[in-house]
Amino acid sequence: MKEADMSKNVGIVIVSHSSLVAQGAADMVRQMVGDEVPLAWCGGNPDGDLGTNVPAICNAIEAAWSERGVAILVDLGGAETNSEMAIEMLTDKRRAKAVVCNGPIVEGAVMAATESSGGATLEQVRRAAEELYRL
């Protein structure tokens, strides 16, 4: 899929305390959904231990950025608060196009990416990521 085509789709960012979890979830997205969705992941603290850190999340958001927006899937506590902090650090224009989804990190990432691959809006992608909690 060409870069130009990918930018039409909402990006997906996966933020876990564990780099293995984040990478594994990203693998599932790539293998199950495909490569037409911008995707980035981060996990672990700067020492390589379990944790999350804001600069890594900022880099992931940048890597998966799309003008359609970016949906962030997180696991526990700090993954969410640090992702919110990373969103705060974005420019005003970009801040409105980044959301943290209230859904399961693995399943939510796959479902959000499936929705995004069809050209859905950021709000539709967020809803897909959160739909499991509403069924």
Partner 1 sequence: MNTTSPSMAQDAVLQRGEARLVHEGGLHARPSIKVTKLSKRFQSRVWIGLSPNGPWTDAKSIARVMAMKTPINTTIHFAAEGEDAERAVRALVALVEGDFVDTPDDAS
Catalytic residue among 9, 11, 17, 127: 17
Task: Please state whether beta strands 70-74 and 39-43 pair in parallel, antiparallel, or not at all (unpaired).
Answer: unpaired
- Specify the length of the chain in residues: 135
Task: Give the sheet arrangement for strand 98-101, strand by strand.
Answer: 39-43, 11-16, 70-74, 98-101
Helix axes 19-32, 105-117, angle to 10 degrees: 30
Give whichever of 99 and 128 is closer to partner 1, judged by the CB atom.
Answer: 128
Give whichever of 53 and 114 is closer to partner 1, judged by the CB atom.
Answer: 114
Is residue 17 annotated as part of the catalytic site, yes or no? yes
State the residues that interact with partner 1 by CB under 8 A.
32-34, 110-111, 114-115, 117-120, 128, 131-132, 135
Residue 101: CB minimum distance to partner 1, A: 13
Among all residues, which ones are annotated catalytic?
Answer: 17
